[in-house]
Amino acid sequence: MQTFKDADFQKEIFRAITDMGFEVPTPIQKKTIPHLLSSDEDIIALAQTGTGKTAAFGLPIIEMIEPDDNYPQAIVLCPTRELCIQIAKDFESFTKYLPNIHVTAIYGGASIDPQIKALRRGTHIVVGTPGRVNDVLRRNALQIDKIRWLVLDEADEMLNMGFKDELDSILEMAPKKRQTLLFSATMPSDIQSIANNYMNNPVELTAGKKNAGAENVSHFYYVVQAKNRYLALKRIADINPNIYGIVFCRTRQETKDIANSLIEDSYSADALHGDLSQAQREQVMHRFRQKHIQLLVATDVAARGIDVSDISHIINYNLPDENEIYLHRSGRTGRAGKTGISISIIHTRETSRVRQIEKILDKKMVQLPVPNGKEICEKQLFNVIDKIETIKVDEASIAPFLPDIYSKLEWLDRDQLIKHVVSVEFSRFLEYYKNAPDLNASAKDADFRSSSAEGDGMFQKYFINIGARDNLTKVTFLDLFNKKAKLKEVKVGKVEILQNFSFFMADRRYEKQLLEAFRSLEFNGAKIVVEPKTNSASTSGSGRRGSSSGYDRRGSSLGSDRKGPASGYERRTSSSGSDRRGSSSGSERKGSGYDRDKKSDRGGYSSRRPR
Ligand code: AMP
């Protein structure tokens, strides 16, 4: 099958998909549609979300449904409420000109009564999540004894989510004489056992390689020290001013923290995680779909079933624990023929994970340098210029103010005026990135013994206010560390004894214990001061004893990468009387200023401020 015409669908279906803009069948559709129309053999199809698999199974089923037989003839099982609603919507679009075919969605997290009523009214196609389908089966509100097609959509996700028992019980209840269609992005062994137990000599259809990631997704990674992840994330957002993406985090807490930091730093972001109520979750998703939020920070579980077709970037704030999850994450971009980018922020010890993921993807993940301040400023500058060029001018509203504006700006010639206008936006980035540090971790950072870098994933570098002048040597230091401070179980890395003070690396997990242990210690009559050393602190020029505050001030410059410009920015925006952008994310959260933001920004995104 090369075109939809070759499938010879009823004209109503053809008209509906033409309305939807489907011109050429996707690879999985080319394989699945002719098979389903001509054979009752079971199929296992390896297909990611976004490959057009809903139409691949949906269109032939609709073609073959008997509208006069008023009972469920097809059941589609899928992992999440969102996906369930999405599939039902797609089916409704496909049956737009076939009003006698009825589709019903049943899913958890919503009242069961209206769903039961809808089933009782009579339906031909049921789309449901396994838990809720079991519920309605137990209540006799749904009969599946006459179904002809049973579809398991995102079967791997259903198993990941623990629906094995529910699936078993539904598959047991379904009539033996049926066609079972299993769609899955990956093929773990438990899918194979479903196939063995419940399917009849299934034919395997693959569009693309087994377990392969979406074809049109490019994979990149940045190597940074673990503590610089957040700064790297901000640079990714800043170098992509029109980013529309999902940032995946490992835990709910991390999701909340990262989203809050982004919001505080005036990025257009929000969090999606399991602690949200259904209503809050829907609100966040609505705002993301409407593009009122540029960065959705989410856990893997919360992001399941999100079906947004034009996501530009997937950002792995951390690599997932399991390599296959990476496939699911990156499969959320590059959908429906569009290109997508998946970026991972990794630390030096994770490069072997990259090689493993490359094997599953059968594609190279390309290491990129973390963008530097100059590159970001250039990108932002041209973004400002683009906006100035394309912004829609509301002539009528602006007209009354123009005479005053012209007279106020009269003294500026054209060139100066351009520079001033552009600088309104651009100066913030220039200032913020003026002394921004290089975030790229070099390969040698991985080896603490040969590294002078400030710790990595495992080690933290510490300053100690005693040195050779106090007769400190490596041996006496280790004695002090192991015996006096009683920190024998804490791994120590490189020790640098300088004249007036010293540095040492130690396992960062024990930081609290370590600082506590040194707090009350003395060395040759001198009180010991130990402090964690942050990234940009200079090793020279720190004072001798009591240098703690001076040292700290220098050391905090990285922290100011994140927080410093914030107040400056607020001052600047309020003094210029413009709070349109600066307040965007904050006010978005509170629900005010959000519409204003949207309307005022032609691109549909609220712009961000570096803070
Ligand atoms: P799915 O994988 O079913 O979630 O589909 C992903 C997106 O691709 C949906 O927005 C579909 O409407 C769209 N789509 C599916 N098939 C085609 C096609 N042949 N041409 C254009 N878009 C399609």
Alpha carbon dihedral 366, 369, 372, 378, in 10-degree steps, equals -30
- CA 316–ligand 1 middle distance (angstroms): 25
* 185 Cα: distance to centroid of ligand 1 (angstroms): 16
Does 18 contact ligand 1 (Cβ within 6 A)? no
Assess whether pLDDT exceeds 50 at residue 514. Answer: yes
Q: Are residues 112 and 187 in the same domain?
A: yes
Q: In angstroms, rounded to a whole number, what is the distance separating the alpha carbons of residues 131 and 526?
A: 67
Q: Is the pLDDT at 528 greater than 60, yes or no?
A: yes
Q: Is any atom of ligand 1 closer than 6 Å to the C-beta of 52?
A: yes
How far apart CA 136 and CA 112 sit, in angstroms, is 8
Contact 134, 170 (CB under 8 A): yes
Residue 101 shares a structural domain with residue 32 = yes
Which residue's CA lies nearest to atom 20 of ligand 1?
22
Judge if the beta carbon of residue 348 lies within 6 A of ligand 1.
Answer: no
Decide which of 514, 539, 564 is a domain's last residue: 539
Higher pLDDT, residue 157 or 35: 35
Final residue before a domain boundary, out of 539, 566, 592: 539
* Ligand 1 contact, 309 CB (< 6 A): yes
Q: How much distance in Å is there from the Cα of 241 to the middle of ligand 1?
A: 27
Distance CA 332, CA 523 (A): 57
Q: Which helix (H) or strand (E) holds 467?
A: none
| Confidence check: pLDDT of 607 > 80 | no
Tokens representing 593 are: 């200023």
54 lines ligand 1 (CB under 6 A): yes
CA nearest to 174, candidates 150, 201, 139: 150
- Tell me, yes or no, whether 137 lies in a domain: yes
> 219 C-alpha vs ligand 1 centroid, how far in Å?
22
| 50 alpha carbon – ligand 1 mean position (Å) | 6
Q: Which of 22, 61, 93 to mutate to test the pocket of ligand 1 (most atoms within 8 A of CB)?
A: 22
**333 CB within 6 A, ligand 1:** no
| CA atoms 110, 114, 120, 124: torsion sign | negative
Same domain assignment for residues 424 and 458: no
Does ligand 1 lie within 6 Å of residue 51's CB atom?
Answer: yes
Name residues whose C-beta falls within 8 Å of residue 540's C-beta, 6 or more positions apart in sequence. none
Write the DSSP symbol of residue 250: S
The DSSP symbol for 338 reads -
Give the mean model confidence (pLDDT) for residues 517-536. 83
In the chain, the largest separation of any two C-alpha atoms, in whole Å, equals 96
pLDDT for residue 431 is more than 50: yes
Mean pLDDT estimate for the chain: 80
- Type of residue found at 502: S
**What would the two tokens of residue 550 be?**
């001076």
Main-chain dihedrals φ then ψ at residue 587, nearest 5 degrees: -75, -30
What burial class does residue 132 get, using C-beta atoms within 10 Å of its C-beta: 0-12 exposed, 13-18 middle, 19+ buried?
Answer: buried
Q: Is 142:119 a contact under the CB 8 Å cutoff?
A: yes
Compare 430 and 41 and report the one with higher pLDDT.
41
Does 74 lie in the same domain as 148?
A: yes
Mean pLDDT of 385-392: 84
Residue 65 Cα to ligand 1 middle (Å): 21
Query: For residue 345, is it within any domain?
Result: no
pLDDT at position 14 is: 95
Number of domains into which the chain is organized: 3
Write out pLDDT tens, residues 48-86. 777 789 999 999 999 999 999 999 999 999 998 888 999
pLDDT tens, position by position, 339-354: 789 999 998 778 888 9
pLDDT at position 305 is 63
What is the distance in A from the centroid of ligand 1 to the CA of 26? 8
Does residue 124 sit in the same domain as residue 187?
A: yes
From atom 5 of ligand 1, which residue's Cα is the shortest distance away? 52
Nearest CA to ligand 1 atom 14: 52
Question: Do residue 58 and residue 167 come from a single domain?
Answer: yes
Whether this prediction's pTM lies above 0.85 is answered by no
Q: Tally helices (H) and strands (E) across the chain.
A: 26, 20
Q: What is the pLDDT of residues 366-388, one digit of tens each?
A: 888 888 888 888 888 888 888 88
Q: Based on the domain organization, do 422 and 452 belong to the same domain?
A: no
Q: pLDDT, tens digit, for every residue of 277-297?
A: 888 888 898 899 889 999 999
Region 223-234: mean pLDDT is: 89
Mutate to test the pocket of ligand 1, among 154, 335, 338 (most ligand atoms within 8 A of CB): 335
Atom of ligand 1 nearest to the CA of 20: 12
Q: Which two tokens stand for residue 254?
A: 């991390």
Q: 492 lies in which domain range?
A: 443-539
What are the backbone angles phi and psi of residue 366, rounded to the nearest 5°? -100, 130
Q: Residues 6 or more apart from 474 whose CB is under 8 A from it? A: 495, 497
Cα–ligand 1 centroid distance for 25 (angstroms): 9
Tokens 């951390």, residue located:
318
> pLDDT for 98-117, tens place per residue?
999 999 999 998 899 999 99
Claim to verify: residue 384 and residue 462 sit in the same structural domain? no
Cβ of 493 below 6 Å from ligand 1 = no
Pairing of strands 530-532, 459-464: antiparallel
* Angle between helix 53-64 and 27-38 (nearest 10): 20
Identify whether the C-beta of residue 245 lies closer than 8 Å to the C-beta of residue 296.
yes
Question: Count of CB atoms within 10 A of residue 560's CB?
Answer: 13
Q: Domain containing 485 — which CATH number?
A: 3.30.70.330
Task: For residues 505 and 418, state if they share a domain.
Answer: no
Query: What is the whole-number distance in angstroms between the Cα of residue 444 and the centre of ligand 1?
Result: 46
Q: Is 30 in the pocket of ligand 1 (CB under 6 A)?
A: no
Same domain, 467 and 417: no
Q: Which residue reads 């992001």 in tokens?
A: 303
Whether the Cβ atoms of residue 533 and residue 454 lie closer than 8 Å to each other: yes
Please tell me whether residues 183 and 94 are part of one structural domain.
Answer: yes
Closest ligand 1 atom to 86 CA: 4
The whole-angstrom separation of Cα 489 and Cα 486 is 8
Instruction: Label residues 14-35 b or e (16+ Cβ within 10 Å = b).
Output: bebbeeeebeebbbbbbbbbeb
In a domain, 110, yes or no: yes
CA proximity to 103, closest of 568, 482, 90: 90
538-594 pLDDT, tens digit per residue, is 333 333 333 333 332 222 222 223 332 222 222 222 222 222 333 333 332 332 222
Domain boundary among 492, 517, 539: 539
Q: Is any ligand 1 atom within 6 A of the Cβ of residue 532?
A: no
Residue 390 placed within a domain = yes
- With b for 16 or more beta-carbon neighbours within 10 A and e for fewer, the 192-220 pattern comes to eebbeebbeebeebbbbeebbbbeebbbe
Q: Nearest-5° angle of CA 260, CA 264, CA 270?
A: 40
Amino acid (1-letter code) at residue 514:
L
